[in-house]
């Protein structure tokens, strides 16, 4: 960082009217005390130091990489930063109220803050492969501690690993992709990113890998060691390393990465970012990635049964005499709340009202920061006249082997996986005619609970008088939380099959099954779906 920020600006100072820490304490400056705010470099870390005068030992130091600045008035701002205890796994936030002498100095300070913070983040991303930052890892800095704790606790349990391994579409496709491309693994160094039980590491060893480093941050690492030790013909070529890929050091670079980083809608749980970080830190230049490409597929759908089912959930709040209490004031909030839940289930592809479009994520070249916000423009042509209730989404990933290319798909009509499909349902449907154009956007914004907020807009040109002159639109928008989906039972289920019998293209729907094989979804998905199985049976025609 010295080479960038340090040479351009050794430090930059601003004179403040005053500052005070939150909560107020006797050690902070009084409101009338002039103060200094200095941007500077300390041991390669960009910091903001605020103090009463240049000789004062009482100061507030803020790591710009972990800080945010909020304007609360023309000459008043609050700086919030996250602080972690070095001997604990806990972190807390601290705040500083800053008073400026005038509005111009306030604007100048905000500009300087954003510039120094931007360049500090930029320098952090330029660390050489294999070098770990002295401060908190990227994973810790962008992840809520409670979310990470639950995440690693969930994947540290054998029953959840079993649920994923029993998704034979998933596991079988990985096995086929590795075995059919032995040339990519034979004699090569492999890193298994988020190894879990170690099953993919064992596949790589079976394919002739010279050595496999199985990196796993949860307690599952201990189970992986046991499982690998129980396969002595492979164990001597596999090393389990307990830790995050953002932090671990390996004795050598990998020729190939293998991982299963996909969540609901491909991006949920934000493990794709760890996969990309592992690429930058641990993979040789032009090394292979299994998988190497992901695609998010989208298409508008029509499903009156689903729409009514969701809308009816809020009817509880229309009661005006619930034990003598009028609940109706909360009906509107409840109605919107139910529509903020994306629906995870397996649906009949005949519900789609237009050919799908796709958004490609090339794991070999995409930057981690490009996964923080994903903006996908939408454009479809309706094939039927109907009410459009929202956007259906699914994904697939490509194992681009030197011998065989193999896709793992979660498309409707294909053998069902534990990811199922996802549908964003709008609280206000739009009407379309056959041949009518549907436009809009799907914007996905990452947050520190390891998931995304979805912003969906769909529009269609109005038909009838005046439509040809004004380009009149009917538009519907919605905001959904990907981390809080509605896991819903759907009748058209397809029995998982062994990888050898799978087609690589989506198959036609097979006969409906009454007894559904529950597999794991993303965190807590299986438990939630089990509850729904006891409550809801939905017929799709």
Domains of the chain by residue range: 12-84+91-122, 152-260, 294-487
Report whether the peptide linkage leading into residue 399 is cis, meaning its omega lies within 30 degrees of zero.
no
SS3 assignment for 200-213: HHHHHHHCCCCEEE
pLDDT tens string, the chain, 541 residues long: the values are: 334 444 444 578 888 888 887 765 444 444 546 788 888 876 566 788 888 765 445 678 888 877 888 888 888 888 887 765 544 445 566 788 888 889 888 888 988 888 887 776 655 545 454 444 445 567 777 778 888 788 878 888 888 899 899 999 999 999 999 999 999 999 999 999 999 999 999 999 999 999 999 999 999 999 999 999 999 999 999 999 999 999 999 999 999 999 999 999 999 999 999 999 999 999 999 999 999 999 999 999 999 999 999 999 999 999 999 999 999 999 999 999 999 999 999 999 999 999 999 999 999 999 999 999 999 999 999 999 999 999 999 999 999 999 999 999 999 999 999 999 999 999 999 999 999 999 999 999 999 889 999 999 999 987 656 556 556 688 999 999 999 999 996 444 433 333 233 333 333 333 333 333 333 345 444 444 444 444 433 333 3
**What is the enclosing helix (H) or strand (E) of 335?**
helix 331-339
Rg (CA), the chain: 27
- What does the pLDDT read at residue 501? 30
Q: Could you tell me whether strands 189-193 and 254-259 are parallel, antiparallel, or unpaired per DSSP bridges?
A: parallel
- What does the pLDDT read at residue 116? 83
- What does the pLDDT read at residue 467? 58
Order the strands of the 189-193 sheet from edge to edge.
238-242, 211-216, 189-193, 254-259, 283-290
Bridge partner residues of 443 (DSSP): 375, 455
Report whether the peptide linkage leading into residue 217 is cis, meaning its omega lies within 30 degrees of zero.
no
Q: Which residues contact 182 (CB under 8 A, 6 or more apart)?
A: 207, 208, 403
Q: Considering all CA atoms of the chain, what is the largest pairwise distance in Å, rounded to the nearest integer? A: 79
Q: Which residues contact 464 (CB under 8 A, 6 or more apart)?
A: none
- What does the pLDDT read at residue 137? 67
**Dist CA 86 CA 145 (whole Å):** 14
Asked if 502 and 415 touch (Cβ cutoff 8 Å), the reply is yes
Q: Give how far the C-alpha of residue 182 lies from the chain's centroid of Cα atoms, to the nearest Å.
A: 31
Number of alpha carbons in the 13 Å side-chain half-sphere of residue 390: 26
Asked if 187 and 178 touch (Cβ cutoff 8 Å), the reply is no
Q: Does domain 12-84+91-122 have CATH number 3.40.50.150?
A: no
Q: How many helices (H) and strands (E) does the chain have?
A: 15, 24
Domains 152-260 and 294-487 share a fold: no
- Closest listed residue to residue 264, CA positions, set 451, 399, 39, 540: 451
Order the strands of the 451-461 sheet from edge to edge.
373-381, 437-447, 451-461, 473-481
Residues with active-site annotation: 260, 269
Bridge partner residues of 357 (DSSP): 298
List, as own/partner pairs, every contact residues 308-315 make where C-beta atoms lie below 8 angstroms and the sequence separation is at least 24, other chains included.
309/536, 309/538, 310/338, 310/339, 310/341, 310/343, 310/425, 310/486, 311/335, 311/338, 311/427, 313/338, 314/338
Q: Give the orientation angle of helix 168-179 with respect to helix 158-165, to 10 degrees.
A: 70
Q: What CATH homologous superfamily does 152-260 map to? A: Vaccinia Virus protein VP39 (3.40.50.150)
**Dist CA 418 CA 525 (whole Å):** 9
Burial of 73 (0-12, 13-18, 19+ CB in 10 A): exposed
What is the model's pTM? 0.69
Q: Is 251 helix (H, G, I), strand (E, B) or coil?
A: coil
- What does the pLDDT read at residue 130? 43
DSSP 10: S
Helices (H), 207-270: 220-229, 232-235
Q: Is 351 helix (H, G, I), strand (E, B) or coil?
A: helix
Second-level CATH architecture of 294-487: Distorted Sandwich (2.70)
Residue carrying structure tokens 């009454």: 514
Burial of 464 (0-12, 13-18, 19+ CB in 10 A): exposed
């Amino acid at each position: 960082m010295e080479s960038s920020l340090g040479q351009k600006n050794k430090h930059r100072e601003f004179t403040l009217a005053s500052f005070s820490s939150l909560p107020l304490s006797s050690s902070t400056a009084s409101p009338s005390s002039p103060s200094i705010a200095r941007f500077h470099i300390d041991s390669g870390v960009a910091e903001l130091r605020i103090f009463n005068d240049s000789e004062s030992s009482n100061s507030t130091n803020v790591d710009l990489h972990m800080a945010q600045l909020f304007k609360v008035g023309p000459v008043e701002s609050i700086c919030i930063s996250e602080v972690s205890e070095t001997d604990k796994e806990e972190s807390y936030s601290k705040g500083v109220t800053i008073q400026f002498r005038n509005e111009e100095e306030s604007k100048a300070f905000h500009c300087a803050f954003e510039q120094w913070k931007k360049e500090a983040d930029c320098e952090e991303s330029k660390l050489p492969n294999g070098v770990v930052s002295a401060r908190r890892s990227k994973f810790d800095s962008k992840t809520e501690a409670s979310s990470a704790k639950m995440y690693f606790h969930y994947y540290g349990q054998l029953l959840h690993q079993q649920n994923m391994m029993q998704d034979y579409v998933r596991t079988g496709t990985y096995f086929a992709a590795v075995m059919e491309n032995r040339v990519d693994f034979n004699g090569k160094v492999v890193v298994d990113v988020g190894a879990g039980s170690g099953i993919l590491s064992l596949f790589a060893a079976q394919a002739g890998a010279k050595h496999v480093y199985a990196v796993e941050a949860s307690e599952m690492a201990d189970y992986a060691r046991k499982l690998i030790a129980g396969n002595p013909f492979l164990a001597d070529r596999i090393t389990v390393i307990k830790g995050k890929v953002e932090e671990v050091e390996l004795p050598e670079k990998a020729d190939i990465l293998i991982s299963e980083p996909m969540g609901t809608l491909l991006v949920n749980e934000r493990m794709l970012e760890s996969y990309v970080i592992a690429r930058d830190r641990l993979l040789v230049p032009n090394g292979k990635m299994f998988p190497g490409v992901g695609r998010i597929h989208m298409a508008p759908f029509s499903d009156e049964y689903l729409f009514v089912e969701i809308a009816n959930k809020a009817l509880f709040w229309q009661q005006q005499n619930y034990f003598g209490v009028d609940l109706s004031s909360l009906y509107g909030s409840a109605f919107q709340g139910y529509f903020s839940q994306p629906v995870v289930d397996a649906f009949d592809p005949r519900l789609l009202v237009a050919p799908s479009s796709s958004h490609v994520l090339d794991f070999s070249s995409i930057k981690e920061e490009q996964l923080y916000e994903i903006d996908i423009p939408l454009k479809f042509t309706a094939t039927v006249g109907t009410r459009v209730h929202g956007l259906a989404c699914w994904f697939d990933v490509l194992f681009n082997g030197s011998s065989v290319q193999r896709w793992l798909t979660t498309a409707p009509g294909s053998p069902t996986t534990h990811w199922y499909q996802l549908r964003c349902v709008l609280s206000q449907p739009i009407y379309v005619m056959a041949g009518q154009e549907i436009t809009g956007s799907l914007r996905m914004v990452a947050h520190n609970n390891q998931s995304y907020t979805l912003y969906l807009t769909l529009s269609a040109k109005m038909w009838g008088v005046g439509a040809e002159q004004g380009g009149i639109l009917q538009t519907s928008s919605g905001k959904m939380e990907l981390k809080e989906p509605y896991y819903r039972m759907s009748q058209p289920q397809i029995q998982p099959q062994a990888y050898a019998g799978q087609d690589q293209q989506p198959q036609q729907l097979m006969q409906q099954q009454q007894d559904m094989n529950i597999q794991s979804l993303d965190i807590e998905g299986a438990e939630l779906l089990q509850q729904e199985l006891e409550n809801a049976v939905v017929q799709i025609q």
